[in-house]
Amino acid sequence: MTGHLQKELKQQKPFGSLEQEVVLNVMRTAGALRKGIAEVLRPFDLSAPQYNILRILRGAAEQEGIPCTEIGDRLVSRDPDVTRLLDRLEKRALVARVRSSSDRRVVNARITKKGHDLVNELDAPMAGVHAGQLSHMKRKDLRALVDLLEVARGESE
């Protein structure tokens, strides 16, 4: 199994280190997985970060929304320009921003009914793309991969 990435990249020399090979493999794999997600989202004119924001806000729907500053912390892939993403979603009436009733200095974002309907519509296609991308792997291997990725991010217990 070793050496597949080197062949994919048409790299003649070995990697500089095992760590470099791991990082490049993770990046290459992430790119392949993102491509499938982008294909599902394209007909809905959504980017992956916009979809992620809608999912975050759907999860916070029982509240009066969540502070815009907190959204960036919850994104799967950090995006420094959450304001721009929210502007685009607000322009499409998928989210709304309102001042917090408890602290007028805080602006909360919340999902609208239209946004909620859209993210609900995407649940099945997104689950399908995830399942399809990883259907060749056994459940125990998927669990092991999750555990290893968390260790790599320094998030293991």
Taking the C-alpha atoms of residue 116 and residue 123, their distance in angstroms, rounded to an integer, is 11
- Of how many residues is the chain composed? 157
- Which pTM value belongs to this model? 0.84
pLDDT in tens, 31-67: 999 999 999 999 999 999 999 999 999 988 667 788 8
Please report the pLDDT score of residue 144 as a whole number: 95
Average pLDDT, the chain: 89
CATH number for the domain that contains residue 62: 1.10.10.10
Q: Which of 28-37, 76-85, 136-145 has the lowest mean pLDDT?
A: 76-85
> Would residue 56 count as lying in a domain?
yes
What is the rounded average pLDDT of the residues 86-115?
Answer: 90
Amino acid sitting at position 54: L
Give 33's contacts (C-beta < 8 A, 6+ positions apart): 133
> Would residue 33 count as lying in a domain?
yes
Alpha helices in the chain (DSSP H): 4-8, 18-41, 48-59, 68-74, 82-91, 113-134, 139-152
Residues in a beta bridge with 95: 111
> Would residue 12 count as lying in a domain?
no
Owning domain of residue 70: 17-150
Please report the pLDDT score of residue 1 as a whole number: 55
> Would residue 156 count as lying in a domain?
no
pLDDT in tens, 3-39: 688 777 878 788 888 899 899 999 999 999 999 999 9
Higher pLDDT: 69 or 127? It is: 127
**What does DSSP assign to residue 44?**
G
> Would residue 23 count as lying in a domain?
yes
Amino acid sitting at position 50: Q
Look at residue 86 and tell me whether its pLDDT is greater than 70. Answer: yes
Percent of the chain whose predicted confidence (pLDDT) is above 70 = 95
- The answer to whether 54 and 113 are in contact (CB under 8 A) is no
Q: Highest-confidence range of 67-81, 99-113, 119-133, by mean pLDDT?
A: 119-133
> Would residue 52 count as lying in a domain?
yes
Overall number of domains in the chain = 1
